[in-house]
Chains A and B, each alone.
Chain A
């Protein structure tokens, strides 16, 4: 080995230490998905071996030298049925198994903590409920279900954490969700996997899976001063939402207290459950989401609030579980420095004009 050039040798050593054939299994779903993956690998290997054996075997056994005259055979219904039904059966097993896993990955449990992720060219912005912001990084606790609510500000992006085996497209104009429960602490890759323009390959970051204690420490040390709900509260005030949504009996807009998670009947008679996606739509396209008994007078905020601003508002509305806080807002907004001194659009989350 001594004659190998030292540079090459260094490369080889570096390569071999970095080299891996399979990603870490760092989430609860990972082993489940890998089980299906290996089942399919096994089936594929058997299938491939079978094909190779047949092709190589037959062409050796019946090569012209050994078998100069071919015997004409029309076919065999039995064999046709065999290689129709057996693959079909195997594929159906994979289909059912895969569908179960698919539903698991995209159906978050009720107790999941929610983190908002906004994709834009070319970065990931994560927003924790406590107001912690991160760019191209995501801190999460292990052993706790974490739901991500994703949206894109511009083009399609796709949020992928290979170590957790989860991936979800971030789409402009609508929320998508995915969830996972990390099981091992560590730092993992976070990729944008949907081609999104020039710096697509730089839209990568790290996921930090931490013990709950460390996560709490991180939360405390990276607080931005106000939670998303607090930002939302300020925005709510500066956009004068409280002029209508003030929970007074004569209010022109529906009461927002406790509205999140409730069932609403709309003017067209449809009944819906209020979730993040509904709230977002109701702010941006209000005329299609008018609660029964109210006039369609709400103006649209499309183009006036950034996606982060919408998230703040949604988070604020989610946090309204008692009447008290809303009243506070309506009476204290005038006291806030923003609405006194500066023009309203300066509030965080509004699109700079």
Chain B
């Protein structure tokens, strides 16, 4: 039907179909709009994977080269806090998923509750992370000028860790490479925490909007897409936790 090709000329027709207020003017249907934003979110997560991919590559290479340093470095991390944090994060993913469901079901107060829970759990995660960071700071395990090799050259001086693992002292050249381990630890968890902070910021914004009923009108794409982001951040942690805390912990 070639005549259907619109030739816009002097006589133009203002074609405005009736559509819900949340449908942007350039989409034909709300389905198309949801599809498009959803797809965009997945693509964005793909770029995030590539972004973290650079760090994972560096981790893989240096772990391979400086294995003993990475093992003893990982002994400095607290399994307790790490596991707790993993649990917190997975729970927050659950509350987020519940939130999406509530939005779909148009349950406003339940949605707000879920979002608030997710928000709080996110903060708890960051709080625990900062306890861990603080510990590293006190032990001079933050790469840069204050970095100290004591725990690795003389593990016995580090009572708590020593009691558990009985690490052998690392030779100086290997001990130096623990700095790379801690850099990667901070870079990867820091990058992850940054994503959490951004996520928490958006959550705060969403809580306010949800209270006003913005997501319980049947249009839930925003909540859904944010859910994707939140789960993605969760998944990154699911990779970070074993790589940094668990693997080869008992190797020597």
Binding site for B on A (CB under 8 A): 284-288, 296-300, 302
Contacts and interface: CB of A to CB of B under 8 A. Distances in A.
A300 B171 CA distance: 8
Contacts of B172: 287, 299-300
DSSP class of A's interface residues: helix, strand, loop or mixed?
loop
A286 B173 CA distance: 7
B243 interface: no
A302 B171 CA distance: 12
Nearest to A268: B67
B236 interface: no
Contacts of B171: 286-287, 296-300
Contacts of A297: 171
B161 interface: no
B128 interface: no
Pick the 5 closest A-B CB pairs, nearest first. Answer: A287-B171, A300-B173, A287-B174, A285-B173, A300-B172
Of the four ranges (under 10, 10 to 19, 20 to 34, 35 or more), the interface on chain B belongs to under 10
Nearest to B173: A300
B69 to A, nearest CB: 9
Nearest to A284: B173
Contacts of A288: 65-66, 173-174
A297 B172 CA distance: 10
Contacts, number: 26
Nearest to B171: A287
B156 interface: no
A298 B171 CA distance: 8
Contacts of A298: 171
Given A287-B173, A288-B173, A288-B174, 9 more contacts: A285-B173, A287-B68, A287-B172, A288-B65, A288-B66, A296-B171, A298-B171, A299-B172, A302-B176
B170 interface: yes
B71 to A, nearest CB: 13
Nearest to B68: A287
Nearest to B65: A288
A269 to B, nearest CB: 14
A110 to B, nearest CB: 30
A287 B69 CA distance: 11
Interface in B137-182: 170-174, 176
Nearest to A287: B171
A286 B174 CA distance: 9
B86 to A, nearest CB: 32
Contacts of B170: 287
A295 to B, nearest CB: 10
11 contacts: A285-B174, A287-B170, A287-B172, A287-B173, A288-B65, A299-B171, A299-B172, A300-B171, A300-B172, A300-B173, A302-B176
B234 to A, nearest CB: 36
Most buried by B among A285, A286, A297: A285
A251 B234 CA distance: 54
A296 B174 CA distance: 11
A299 B172 CA distance: 7
Nearest to A297: B171
Contacts of B68: 287
Contacts of B65: 288
A204 to B, nearest CB: 35
A299 B174 CA distance: 10
Nearest to A290: B171
A297 B68 CA distance: 15
Contacts of B66: 288
A297 B174 CA distance: 12
A224 B68 CA distance: 44
A280 to B, nearest CB: 13
A172 to B, nearest CB: 16
Interface string B186-204: 0000000000000000000
A104 to B, nearest CB: 30
Interface in B95-152: none
A302 B176 CA distance: 11
A40 B25 CA distance: 56
Contacts of A300: 171-173, 176
A144 to B, nearest CB: 37
Nearest to B168: A296
A296 to B, nearest CB: 5
Nearest to A299: B172
A325 B176 CA distance: 35
A44 to B, nearest CB: 35
Contacts of A287: 68, 170-174
B247 to A, nearest CB: 18
B173 to A, nearest CB: 4
Contacts of A299: 171-172
A285 B173 CA distance: 6
A53 B147 CA distance: 67
A299 B153 CA distance: 12
Most buried by A among B68, B170, B173, B174: B173
Nearest to A298: B171
Interface in B62-96: 65-66, 68
